[in-house]
Amino acid sequence: MGTQIVQESKRCLQCVNPQCVKGCPVGTPIPEMISMLLEGQIRKAGEMLFRNNPLSVICSLVCPHESFCEGHCILGHKNKPVRISSMEHYISDYYLRFMDLLPEKRIAQKVGVIGAGPAGITVAFLLALRGYDITIYESKDKIGGVLRYGIPDFRLPKTLLDRLEEHLIRMGVIIRPNTLIGKRLTLEDLFRDGFEALFIGTGVWTPHRLDIKGESLGHVHYALDYLRNPEVYHLGERVCVIGAGNTAMDAARSCLRRGAREVTVLYRKDKQYIPARDVEVEYALIDGVQFLYRARPLEITLHGVQYVKTLEEENAPGQYHDTEETALLSCDTVIIAISQDPCATIPDNSNGLETGIKGLLVTDSRGHTTRKGIFASGDVVTGAKTVVEAVAQSKIVVQAMEEYLEGKIV
């Protein structure tokens, strides 16, 4: 591993106008990171990475690098791009073991961060580093959001999140787990108790329904529920996963690791339209996941999924219509993975927070919601996206929150 990292680092051309940086939503200073690594300054490189992106170590593992930094590396035009992700991981994993980034001063202003996913962690980390007094409210028992309760262990070891959590605590951040804001405790309670600004990063946790007969049966589950704690499910031998996004791939691969013998992804279009990343589909295939294309589910029964075969419109690529032909995909368990929306708990129980399409929170480009002193970013604003995009937007919001808080000091 070490040698490969050195060899890879030496392949970097140190471009004057680095496209990799432009391709990264958080503008990771990649050439500097590589130079520092080669000059034996790994701690300095690590500090630079975490100051720029508190989730550097996570992004190095789960980012769609082929679309961002590595997809823009000019070596990739003729050869293989530099494996930037491996270098970032090597440095940030090393640095996280003894990260010594601590606030240089203390500011007596309290900020409440609701939701401990990538957006909430970014805001908490960066504001704590500036010296603000931060409390995180998380409805689940641990921090991480989708990183902990969605992405399976075989893609992202949860020990990384534990180490991040330890560091947040060392920085002075208070974490209140198992606390759902919006019901028993509301935004009004937090303002009453002295919080001067609030951040909402609650993500999208309401699974889309298929709205077909059989959806409420006992062997039918939503992917996000299943992925939260796969060990409690009795899957049987054959599983059908409906949907073909990244969540569906995680669920399908997880089922195979949990003892299912046969897992089939059922998708209503053809292979070229699969929304999951190519690399996730490739992994699913090598793990043994099977794919059934051009199939739209009609009904779920105790025996499996009844579906109708579909056909692409001749004059409208990507549009599909039902044929007359129906069939049954036999299975013991059905997992539905067709996207998700935000929960309405907070906006329904507070005044002045406007929501838009599909219940997403309305904000301006700097994360101000429609209520003064309340900011938001991440999936609850944009809909399901990526970790690095949640971090990028949250960094902008941190600046807006600082300006707001500084304006309140006088």
Closest CB to ligand FAD among 12 and 160? 160
Query: Does the protein bind ligand FAD through residue 370 (CB under 6 A)?
Result: no
Question: What H or E segment, with its residue span, contains residue 51?
Answer: helix 42-52
Contacting range for ligand FAD; rule: CB under 6 A; set: 98-106, 123-131, 140-148, 256-264: 140-148
C-alpha distance from residue 47 to each of 53, 56, 388 (Å): 10, 10, 18
Strands (E), 217-349: 220-222, 238-242, 262-266, 290-292, 295-301, 304-313, 316-330, 333-336, 340-341
Are 92 and 49 in contact by the 8 Å Cβ rule? The answer is: yes
Separation CA 227–CA 325 (nearest Å): 33
Closest CB to ligand FAD among 101 and 180? 180
CB neighbourhood size of 36 (10 A)? 21
Contacting range for ligand FAD; rule: CB under 6 A; set: 170-178, 180-188, 290-298, 366-374: 180-188
> β-strands 340-341, 206-207: how paired?
antiparallel
Residue 147: which of 165, 123, 124 has the closest Cα? 165
Pair of tokens at residue 23: 């391709």
Out of 33, 37, 63, 160, the only residue in the binding site for ligand FAD (CB under 6 A) is 63
Out of 24, 164, 181, 235, the only residue in the binding site for ligand FAD (CB under 6 A) is 181
Pair of tokens at residue 353: 């927070």
Q: How far is the CB of 376 from ligand FAD (least distance, A)?
A: 9
Q: How far is the CB of 156 from ligand FAD (least distance, A)?
A: 8
The C-alpha angle 35, 59, 57, rounded to 5 degrees, equals: 65
Q: How far is the CB of 117 from ligand FAD (least distance, A)?
A: 2
Contacting range for ligand FAD; rule: CB under 6 A; set: 125-133, 244-252, 303-311, 397-405: 244-252
Helix, strand, or coil (residue 193): coil
Out of 18, 112, 120, 207, the only residue in the binding site for ligand FAD (CB under 6 A) is 120
| Interface of this chain with ligand FAD, residues 183 to 212, rule: CB under 6 A | 201-203, 205
Out of 86, 247, 264, 369, the only residue in the binding site for ligand FAD (CB under 6 A) is 247
Q: How far is the CB of 146 from ligand FAD (least distance, A)?
A: 3
Closest CB to ligand FAD among 45 and 335? 335
Closest CB to ligand FAD among 12 and 284? 284
The rounded Cα 6 to chain-centroid distance in angstroms is 30
Query: Does the protein bind ligand FAD through residue 115 (CB under 6 A)?
Result: yes
Pair of tokens at residue 376: 């938001």
Sign of CA dihedral 48, 53, 59, 61: positive
> β-strands 133-137, 110-114: how paired?
parallel
The C-alpha angle 130, 132, 377, rounded to 5 degrees, equals: 85
| Interface of this chain with ligand FAD, residues 148 to 177, rule: CB under 6 A | 150-151
Partners of residue 320 on adjacent β-strands: 312
Q: How far is the CB of 18 from ligand FAD (least distance, A)?
A: 21
Query: Does the protein bind ligand FAD through residue 398 (CB under 6 A)?
Result: no
Closest CB to ligand FAD among 58 and 210? 58
Query: Does the protein bind ligand FAD through residue 182 (CB under 6 A)?
Result: yes
Contacting range for ligand FAD; rule: CB under 6 A; set: 259-267, 286-294, 348-356, 377-385: 377-385
Give counts: helices (H), strands (E), the chain.
17, 15
Out of 101, 180, 256, 298, the only residue in the binding site for ligand FAD (CB under 6 A) is 180
Out of 114, 129, 134, 164, the only residue in the binding site for ligand FAD (CB under 6 A) is 114
Closest CB to ligand FAD among 119 and 197? 119
C-alpha distance from residue 171 to each of 108, 133, 145 (Å): 15, 10, 20
Question: What H or E segment, with its residue span, contains residue 39?
Answer: none
Closest CB to ligand FAD among 326 and 349? 349
Query: Does the protein bind ligand FAD through residue 379 (CB under 6 A)?
Result: yes
Place of tokens 């399901």: 384
Are 84 and 137 in contact by the 8 Å Cβ rule? The answer is: no
Query: Does the protein bind ligand FAD through residue 56 (CB under 6 A)?
Result: no
Closest CB to ligand FAD among 80 and 183? 183
Q: Can you give the binding site for ligand FAD, defined by CB under 6 A?
A: 62-63, 114-120, 137-140, 145-146, 150-151, 180-182, 201-203, 205, 227, 246-247, 250, 343, 345-346, 378-380, 384-388, 390
